[in-house]
Amino acid sequence: MMSESPRWFKSSYSDNGGACVEVAVNLVASRGVVPVRDSKDPSGPVLGFPAASFAAFVGGVRRGSV
């Protein structure tokens, strides 16, 4: 998916028994994408979302509209 290595992290709110996703925002500037993966399966598939779409999703979550 990308040549630059993603630096994965989970939200500090992710203390819900393991049902978490991880994101790698370090690729936004160079690739324009936000990779997302299942934290329970770090070698599994990665979804790459356009940065603007991911930002709109996060904004919706913060507003409570998603």
User: Mean per-residue pLDDT for 17-36?
Assistant: 87
CA dihedral (24, 27, 51, 46) positive or negative: negative
Residue 3's pLDDT band (boundaries 50, 70, 90)?
Answer: low
- Distance (Å, whole) CA 49 – CA 46: 10
Is pLDDT at 2 greater than 60 in this prediction? no
pLDDT in tens, 38-64: 988 999 999 999 999 999 999 998 999
Average pLDDT of the residues of the chain: 87
DSSP letter at 38 equals E
